[in-house]
Amino acid sequence: MSGLRVIVGCKRVIDYAVKIRVKPDKTGVVTEGVKHSMNPFDEIAVEEAIRMKEKKIASEVIAVSCGPTQCQETLRTAMAMGADKAIHVELDAKQTETIQPLHVAKILAKISQEEKADVVIVGKQAIDGDYNQTGQMTAALLDWPQATFASEITKNNGDLTVTREVDGGLETIKVKLPAVITADLRLNEPRYATLPNIMKAKKKPLAKKKASDYGVDVTPSHQILSVEDPPVREAGQKLETTEDLVGKLREAGLLPS
Amino acid sequence: MFSRACLQGARRGVHVYKRFNSTLVVVEHNNEKVTPITLNTITAASKLGGEVSCLVAGSQCAKVAEEVSKVAGVKKVLLADNDAFKGFLPEALTPLVLATQSQFNFTHILAGSTALGKSLAPRVAAKLDVSPISDIIGIQAADTFVRSIYAGNAIQTLKSNDSVKVITVRGTAFDAADPSSGSAAQEQAPAATPSATSEFVSQELSKSDRPDLTSAKSVISGGRGMKNGENFKMLYDLADKMGAAVGASRAAVDAGFVPNDMQVGQTGKIVAPDLYIAVGISGAIQHLAGMKDSKIIVAINKDPEAPIFQVADYGLVADLFKVIPEMSELVDKK
Cβ distance B133 to A222 less than 8 Å, yes or no, reads yes
Q: Is the pLDDT of residue B242 over 50?
A: yes
What mean pLDDT value characterizes chain B?
93
pLDDT, residue B326, reads: 96
- Interface touch B334/A257, C-beta < 8 Å: yes
Of A19, A138, A254, the CB nearest to B275: A254
Cβ separation B154–A22 shorter than 8 A: yes
CB A11 within 8 A of CB A77: no
**Could you tell me if A130 and B135 are in contact, meaning their C-beta atoms sit under 8 angstroms apart?**
yes
Alpha carbons B262 and B272: distance in angstroms, whole number: 14
What mean pLDDT comes out for the span A149-175? 95
Is a pLDDT exceeding 60 seen at residue A251? yes
Q: Which residues of A touch B126 (CB under 8 A)?
A: 102, 105, 136-138, 140-141
pLDDT digits (tens, 9 = 90+) for B268-287: 999 999 999 999 999 999 99
Enumerate residues 6+ apart whose C-beta is below 8 A from B13: none
* Span B28-59, pLDDT tens digits: 999 999 999 999 999 999 999 999 999 999 99
Whether residues A173 and B201 touch (CB distance < 8 A) is answered with yes
pTM: predicted TM-score of the whole model, two decimal places:
0.93
User: What are the helix (H) ranges across A15-99?
Assistant: 40-54, 71-81, 93-98
Q: Beta strand pairing status for B198-205 and B245-248?
A: unpaired
Q: Do A223 and B132 touch (CB under 8 A)?
A: no
| Sign of the dihedral defined by the CA atoms of residues B273, B151, A78, B121, in that order | positive
Residue of A112, A103, A114, A195 lying closest to A146 (CA atoms): A112
- Inter-residue contact A77 to A47 (CB < 8 Å): no
Residue A212 has pLDDT above 50, yes or no: yes
B contacts of A19 (beta carbons < 8 Å): 153, 285
**Model ipTM?**
0.96
Task: Test B115 with A175 for CB contact under 8 angstroms.
Answer: no
Please give the average per-residue pLDDT across B146-166, as a whole number: 97
Cis peptide before B190 (omega within 30 of 0): no
Q: How far is A80 from chain B (nearest CA, A)?
A: 26
Percent helix, percent strand, percent coil in chain B, to nearest 5: 35, 30, 40
Interface test with B, best of A188, A254, A257 (most B CBs within 10 A): A254
Helix (H, G, I), strand (E, B) or coil at B239: helix
Convert the pLDDT of each residue in A40-88 to its tens digit.
999 999 999 999 999 999 999 999 999 999 999 999 999 999 999 999 9
Q: Which of A102, A229, A238 sits opposite B317 (nearest CB)?
A: A238
Phi, then psi, of A238 in degrees rounded to 5: -90, 135
CA–CA gap between residue A97 and residue A28 (Å, rounded): 9
Contact check, Cβ <8 Å, A249/B286: no
Query: Which pLDDT score, from 0 to 100, does residue B207 have?
Result: 85
Q: pLDDT tens digits for A229-240?
A: 999 888 799 999
